[in-house]
């Protein structure tokens, strides 16, 4: 499929009422494996990409993200949504430039966050809405639009005020966002409250001990992503095996390995 076809497919998928899962690979191999497993779309993970480059989250450069996007977009026929953090810019022109670069790299969608690591705080709602609007304008290319997801980071940074989160998501909707996302929603009641109040497709982060995919869908969530969880699990298994080998000299870590059937997605 061409990038334009993937973008059209992604936009159309958001128009359906049924929930879909969009897991987050961190390199070409994991993207191909997840595509082979039968998912409908993929998304990058800022933390997973950073770890694959030997960095920590929020340390990846824009050039590295754009190159990563191009690699993953070319790796499968699935639409790819990009975790583009704050779009790597403090000014509106810079936001538009980043979104344009991701479009050119083959992304089917991208996101913009309202948390500023430089200040350690959430942007004022007026400023955040202006930034969302700039990203929307750049994403909605005539005849070939990307899905623009606006994120409220309140819950990830200890701000548990659901009313404020909803107010922000409604402002981002009004600024033109196609989809909204508040990572950290952990109950069906919270999900339903956001869906009812905001009225546009909601992405829900699959949360430990939280609702299942079916429960998220029943509460009105449209999209489920995994964030850095799959990358963290994979790297965690690596380090568990490495420590077993180093400390005990045993090889029980080999009990979990990539199956031959799954390797077929890699062409092996």
Q: What is the mean pLDDT of residues 60-84?
A: 98
pLDDT at 9: 98
pLDDT at 177: 98
Q: What is the mean pLDDT of residues 129-141?
A: 98
Q: Over 70: is that where the pLDDT of 124 sits? A: yes
Angular region, 54: left φ>0, alpha ψ -120 to 50, beta rest: left
- The span from the CA of 100 to the CA of 82, in Å, is 12
Q: What is the mean pLDDT of residues 78-101?
A: 98
Average pLDDT over the chain, rounded to whole? 97
- pLDDT tier, 267 (very low <50, low <70, confident <90, very high otherwise): confident
Q: Over 70: is that where the pLDDT of 62 sits? A: yes
At how many degrees (to 10) do helices 188-198 and 162-174 cross?
Answer: 30
Cβ(146)–Cβ(108) under 8 Å? yes
Q: What is the mean pLDDT of residues 217-229?
A: 98
pLDDT at 268: 52
Q: What is the mean pLDDT of residues 196-205?
A: 98
Q: Over 90: is that where the pLDDT of 32 sits? A: yes
- The span from the CA of 92 to the CA of 94, in Å, is 5
190: tokens are: 């919270």
Q: What is the mean pLDDT of residues 97-106?
A: 98
- Report domain extents, the chain: 3-266
237: Cβ contacts below 8 Å, ≥ 6 apart: 253, 256
pLDDT at 224: 98
pTM, 2 dp? 0.97
Q: Can you name the CATH fold of 3-266?
A: TIM Barrel (3.20.20)
Q: How far apart are the first and last CA of the chain?
A: 23
């Amino acid at each position: 499929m061409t990038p334009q076809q993937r973008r059209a497919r992604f936009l159309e998928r958001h128009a359906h009422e049924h929930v879909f899962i969009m897991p987050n690979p961190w390199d070409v191999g994991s993207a191909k494996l997840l595509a082979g497993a039968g998912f409908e779309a993929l998304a990058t993970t800022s933390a997973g990409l950073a770890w694959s480059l030997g960095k920590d989250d929020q340390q990846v450069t824009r050039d590295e993200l754009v190159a990563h996007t191009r690699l993953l977009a070319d790796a499968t026929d699935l639409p790819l949504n990009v975790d583009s953090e704050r779009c790597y810019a403090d000014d509106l022109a810079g936001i538009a430039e980043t979104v344009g670069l991701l479009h050119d790299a083959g992304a089917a969608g991208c996101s913009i966050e309202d948390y500023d690591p430089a200040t350690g705080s959430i942007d004022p709602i007026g400023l955040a809405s202006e930034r969302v609007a700039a990203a929307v304008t750049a994403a909605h290319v005539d005849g070939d639009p990307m899905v623009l997801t606006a994120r409220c980071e309140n819950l990830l940074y200890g701000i548990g005020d659901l009313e404020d989160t909803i107010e922000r998501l409604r402002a981002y909707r009004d600024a033109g966002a196609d989809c909204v996302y508040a990572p950290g929603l952990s109950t069906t009641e919270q999900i339903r409250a956001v869906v009812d109040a905001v009225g546009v497709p909601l992405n829900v982060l699959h949360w430990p001990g939280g609702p299942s995919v079916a429960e998220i869908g029943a509460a009105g969530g449209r999209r489920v992503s995994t964030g850095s969880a799959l990358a963290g699990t994979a790297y965690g298994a690596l380090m568990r095996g490495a420590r077993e080998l180093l400390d005990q000299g045993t090889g029980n870590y080999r009990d979990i390995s990539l199956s031959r059937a799954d390797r077929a997605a890699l062409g092996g």
